[in-house]
Amino acid sequence: MIDRYSREEMAKIWDLNSKFDYYLQVELAVCDAYAELGTIPKDAAKQIREKASFTVERIDEIEREVRHDVIAFLTCVNESLGDLGRFVHVGMTSSDVIDTAFALQIQDSGKIIKADLTKTIQILKNLAKAHKDTVCIGRSHGIHAEIMTFGAKMCSWIDILSRQKDNFEHALEQIRVGQISGPVGTYSNIPPEVEQLTCKHLNLKPAKISTQIIARDYHAYFMQSLALIASVLEQFATEIRHLQRTEVLELEEGFGKGQKGSSAMPHKKNPVLSENLCGLARVVRANSIVALENIPLWHERDISHSSAERIIFPDSLTLVDFMLNRFNGLMENIVVHKDNMLKNTNKFGGIVFSQKALLELVEKGLSREDSYKIVQRNALDAFQNHGDFKANLLNDSEVTKLLSKEEIEAIFDKNAFLHNIETIYKRFEL
């Protein structure tokens, strides 16, 4: 991933030095397992752990000759071990190292994403608490529907993201799987007990079966969880973009001192952070498709998945980490224009109170069909002629013969929409 969309902690997990360090962690854990079983001297395992080392430069030099990254890694490590090198990588295949190390990288990356998600949800909870009573308009099809609160909108976002956090944690646990099973996974030259002990040392679960590689449906499932997180962040960002439009202006991204919005138009303050999130979400979703395509491999293994995974996993994990942190900063500095939210609820003399008017007429004994026609006529007139819905009702004889002025005025009470907001908040323990 490019530096622009990378955070140091995540990027470090996926750099070359870290990759080979994870390889080494696996090889050392296998040596410890052999020593525990009495296959190699415990002192030898201890010395291997103390002496084993590598440099990326030397690995690269060797790989240019042997054209195999794991062999190059092992050759480099063995140069630091001398005769002790005969105890390293015994009975193993390259995939034992690669897939188990890959699992460790994913687990360490997952810890960062989990922390990010926890922070995001807390920020949204803070906004929900602060704006429990901030009246705004709810929209369906992009059109004014009925009144709600901005806090209730935040509760919806909390619910969505909490669910994705649960999904991610499940996927992360599912992929906490290692293998030390040798060629085609039959333990032909390595006892299953080595796998058990190695995985225990590395805090992984042994795969029930591996076919020289760990099945790629694990990885596809995990990538789908990342794609879902990215997609819901795009959902939130799209909402912010819509609400920041000049003619709406209910929300606004924070605008720093000295910040400029346009190279040509000095008045512009653009929702650039939200737009950025939408673009990055497309990359993560696309990567998840690649992960699905990695599932069908030839027979017990091929390496068609390998080249793709070198790109999509570091990139997707790095992007989701970046996106969550960008979104966190965005929401911590979001500008909520309460006055504009309230003003928009009153568009066209409060046509969003149409259902309240409809139900009031029905309550007076008018049929629902006739009530609908009367209310719709008055509402559409207000909308099409930039008029006033309340005034229309007050001047409509079919309405006034059933409803008093006071009863009509009472229809336009915003609190009538909000009496169950407390019920929603109790569900979130807010």
Domain boundaries, the chain: 3-12+92-254+264-342, 348-427
Answer whether 151's CB lies under 8 Å from 418's CB: no
Q: Is the pLDDT of residue 265 over 90?
A: no
Most confident of 113-122, 342-351, 377-386: 113-122
pLDDT of residue 267: 76
CA angle 259, 261, 266 (to 5 degrees): 100
Q: Is the pLDDT of residue 355 over 80?
A: yes
pLDDT of residue 259: 77
Structure confidence by residue, pLDDT tens digits, 309-338: 999 999 999 999 999 999 999 999 999 999
Distances (CA, A) of 190 to 90, 91, 93, 193, 224: 7, 5, 10, 8, 34
Mean pLDDT for the chain overall: 95
Contacts of 20 (CB under 8 A, 6+ apart): 54, 56, 59, 73
Q: How far apart are CA 276 and CA 153, in angstroms?
A: 22
Q: How far apart are CA 396 and CA 400, in angstroms?
A: 6
**3-12+92-254+264-342 classified as CATH 3.20.20.70:** no
pLDDT of residue 64: 96
Structure confidence by residue, pLDDT tens digits, 51-83: 999 999 999 999 999 999 999 999 999 999 999
Region 127-147: mean pLDDT is: 96
3-state DSSP call for residue 144? strand
pLDDT band at 266 (very low <50, low <70, confident <90, very high): confident
Predicted TM-score (pTM) of this structure? 0.93
Length of the chain in terms of residues written: 430
**Alpha-carbon dihedral angle through residues 310, 314, 316, 322, given to the nearest 10 degrees:** -160
Contacts of 425 (CB under 8 A, 6+ apart): 128, 132, 151, 155
Candidate from 236-240, 256-260, 365-369, 380-384 with smallest mean pLDDT: 256-260
Q: How far apart are CA 361 and CA 184, in angstroms?
A: 75
Q: Is the pLDDT of residue 1 over 80?
A: no
pLDDT of residue 257: 76
Both structure tokens of 147: 């009144």
Q: Is the pLDDT of residue 268 over 80?
A: no
Q: Is the pLDDT of residue 182 over 80?
A: yes
pLDDT of residue 371: 94
pLDDT band at 269 (very low <50, low <70, confident <90, very high): confident
Residue with tokens 């060797």: 62
Which residues are part of the catalytic machinery? 141, 262
Q: What percent of the chain has pLDDT over 70?
A: 100
CATH number of 348-427: 1.10.40.30
Answer whether 95's CB lies under 8 Å from 213's CB: yes
